[in-house]
Amino acid sequence: MNGFRKVMLIGTVASSFLGFRADLIKQLLLKNYKVYALTSEYTQEELKGIELLGAIPITYELNRGGINPLADAKATYALSKKIEDINPDLVFSYFSKPVIFGTLAAKLAKVPRVIGMLEGLGYTFTEQPEGLSKKAQLIKSIQVLLYKIALPQLDNIIFLNPDDPKDLLEAYHIKVKKLDVLGGIGLDLDEYNYQPIETIDSPISFLFIGRMLKEKGIHDFIAAAKIVKQSYPNVQFTVLGAIDSSNPGALQQSELDRLVSSNVINYPGQVDDVQKWVADSHVFVLPSYREGVPRSTQEAMAIGRAVITTDVPGCRETVVDGVNGFLVEKWNPQSLAEKMIYFIEHPEEIKKMGYESYKIAQDKFDADKVNKRLIDMLGL
């Protein structure tokens, strides 16, 4: 597109630019675009990191979790003035609130091309065994209303998996100009290099990586571990992730301490060398209730690990059932335990399915390929 030189990316947390947008920014810079990165949650160190990538960090105000129409309207107007000052040719927003309010602000600023990407629909669209709480239902209805206002304004809306547009656009009759499905946001495969398992030594180890929340499947993972240990007490179950004690569905510290002391799970705490923990495990497990396309599973696949995950939106994009792992029914620890036991009793399949994971990651989750597809969707 001739003369198309200024690109603005609107996110929330600055760390997402460094962790998940660095490759995209680099590719845009190679194409001689000037890149602005707008963030509402940041540290000075993170802003410096964005500068080192070659982008120009801009801070703005956004109440990421709250529901205050007046505050959101004021923040949207203030954001539109910042956009107007920069006068970009394209605004690309990602995450729910930036897609809603970033789109409205960009339209107020008369930006010629506005695109949004929803990397998942979030907890209000995540089914729970006991149903959604009244508060979650209210938030969801407000969210849907805002999507109905914002999404038709976009020149293109991008999703990571094919279930999300069905559950949002089709279910709520939201008309959009154009729709694309990206697949996953991709990985630097040099950073997550293939590390095949040479020999299957006992005990078999299963690894969970994620925030220790109910919707991430932590309780199902633990319940399955207890079932497996009744027959195979030496099998290892490791959990990597943070505790969010403010979340009512989170695993609590006291429960975690009991599980560790009774040898149900191994919890090394916060670790920096996640790749090493993946490489030292045999099978990766994520019994999540819903995802965009889970990053942790992509990482495990790139390293070459078999995967057990739930047959739900996002997660099902990572596993070909019976080829690189297994899809299990959500909220079903018994089914999860049975697939774990399959790997324990057929250890040769761990190596074989791990290699298949690696091949799928090479094909679907290479950041270089993914960002080329994304840049094409952005019309750049």
What does the domain layout of the chain look like in residue ranges? 6-186+367-377, 205-364
Predicted pLDDT of residue 64: 63
What percent of the chain has a predicted confidence (pLDDT) above 70? 98
Q: How far apart are CA 263 and CA 276, in angstroms?
A: 22
pLDDT tens readout for residues 6-41: 999 999 999 999 999 999 999 999 999 999 999 999
Of the CA atoms within 13 Å of residue 261, those in its CB half-sphere come to 6
Dihedral (CA of 46, 122, 179, 83) sign: negative
- Cβ–Cβ < 8 Å for 334, 341: no
pLDDT over 50 at 53, yes or no: yes
Residue 125 three-state SS:
helix
CA–CA–CA angle 116, 119, 125 (5° rounding): 110
pLDDT (average), residues 98-108: 97
Q: What is the mean pLDDT of the chain?
A: 95
Q: What is the pLDDT of residue 66?
A: 64
What integer pLDDT is reported at residue 299 of this predicted model?
97
What is the arithmetic mean of pLDDT over 250-278? 93
As a whole number of angstroms, the distance between CA 94 and CA 97 comes to: 8
Give the Cα separation of 372 and 368 in Å (integer): 6
Tokens of 250: 């989170």
* 3-state class (DSSP) for residue 302: helix
Domain 205-364 has CATH 3.40.50.2000: yes
Q: What is the pLDDT of residue 378?
A: 96
What is the predicted pLDDT for the residue at 372? 95
205, containing H or E segment: strand 205-209
- Give CA separation, 224 vs 124, 265, 328, 337, 380, in Å: 26, 11, 12, 5, 47
- For residue 68, what pLDDT is reported? 80
Which pLDDT does position 1 carry in this prediction? 42
What is the token pair recorded at 87? 């006068």
205-364: same fold as 6-186+367-377?
Answer: yes
> With bands split at pLDDT 50, 70 and 90, how would you rate the model's confidence at 269?
confident
Q: How far apart are CA 24 and CA 207, in angstroms?
A: 29
Q: What class, spelled out in words, does domain 6-186+367-377 have in CATH?
A: alpha beta
The whole-number average pLDDT for the span 221-243 is 96
Does the pLDDT at position 355 exceed 90? Answer: yes
Q: What proportion of the chain, given as a percentage, has pLDDT over 90?
A: 89
Distance CA 151, CA 211 (A): 29
Min mean pLDDT across 86-95, 214-223, 250-259 is at 250-259
Confidence at 2, pLDDT banded by 50, 70, 90: very low
